[in-house]
Structure 1
């Protein structure tokens, strides 16, 4: 497992980590101080494992070059690593270059008693305004320009205003730092209160109630083996978590980290977070019921759609049968071709209907033979209208020959229906 020097606390859910900037920036000859290379390396390493990183600052400042490396690491991760953010918190002092590191967080918090200080850069303990060091002075002015650009970008203050603050070595309280745009929020630690002796004495004071419940500590459940999103909690688990928070006596840092809350949120923040989870669970359950209702409605609509589709298909089938049978009666198609025409009508009713409409109507074979005066009643009932040309040729060749000789047009029509071409007479 990778070793960390500045990495402090991680939560059970594996989403939030704290890294401490609690020393002078830059390593001296004795090896003391914060190494910018190692600090930046740990930041990048933690950014691959956690979604939120909190840089906690209490530093007198130090080497500018080392501090700028840490600034660059924070800004680069916030800008180029999707889903990961680094916030900064001034827990005590953020002096000199430590103040610039502080303003690099995505969100910047500052404790109500903390201080932030700005001054001009200098080399080797000599003030940069020394006229005897012209070369160094020019170098320091270039460095100051870099720092001013960074501060102006992060705070929204004008460069001239920031330069004057650095010239005067300006100290800022938390409230003043927030007013001038250096920090986004000021947090404070709750005031110590005397402990109430009973629930009745505590009345509705949350802090007092916590003190009373803390007399009866409840052991936390084992750390979960999975890292599912908090929304996977059931309402019963959320209630159990709330009861454990009420009864837990000890450092709440791990609980705050597990909830993804700042360390200054306190028990009120934890209870609010748990209540939010419970409400979200209720909302999601309500959505589940609505989704199930929608699914049922969709399923009913699909069934109705299928029923209507089947009804329409059956109606079209009856229409196709009626169409083809009527065409047979009108002599437009031969009875032996009925199935073929039906299949076409099932596939494309409109096309078959239009095709048959354009075909001429012909009397059936019996009526034509009767009209020729060549058949008697027995011959008329011999089922000629049900026979094709080939069947007539095989069963009644003399009748077919009679038709050929006396009515060539009828003969050609019968032949064309059978073979699709004109006969050679």
Structure 2
């Protein structure tokens, strides 16, 4: 039975992948094959992809496959924990991309769980297998938080379920922010100012084990992907630092220009309004339009001034008595008056 995968939500600018459900469950959850295939398709269409998690966990190996696909992706990926990221779902969230939690969400970490049936050698192999997986997961949590791997195992792999609030997860370095509390402070990886701040925060508060690991962590980010060595990475950081220093000045200049532009636009709009008022008053005075038609012609002029003004000027005006007067006669005498005057001159003589 074929099942269409509905965990992908496209949009004009940003694609969204929903990791809602049990990881590895091909019927009601999310499978690694579907996620990886759709992720590869979206990478060719979108520069930015949001991954939203609400999962109680599931298959460790399916989760690791999704983790690796997200970690190696060249797309600009941001992780959001909307409800719960438990067990292997919490590992997926540690894929090296910026991750944010809702203030109401939870992160849960615990030991790898599994079982088998067989003789003592088979049971022993299963135990060794689980311990190896826990070493791997401890490395992942350690890389994200900067906490020592043994400390991670001691704290979280003790046979208990450890439920973390968004604030606790942020304080411990598992997530980068709380998206519905710190919206205004959310770090945008495309902003030079915020990339620089994020890097410095990670470097000061969550030191990596060595320089090589730090460099490899940096290369996972789009801005550092083409850096060949730590020197080139430091050059990029220096550029970001300069841009960050200029950010406030550029923002102030931009605000000033916007205010000036608005002033020019308001002045132009006011001048055009007065021009339209004058045109309509003249049109009514010359009886080219009725007073009741002013609003209709005003709307036309506001929408397309050039063409509407030509139409308005082309309307015939009412013929006035003064139009019949000879404009060259300073006394404005009509033809009939002049003829009567000629008759009087012939009869009585010229005065």
Normalising by structure 1, report the TM-score.
Answer: 0.40
Normalising by structure 2, report the TM-score.
Answer: 0.48
Bigger radius of gyration: 1
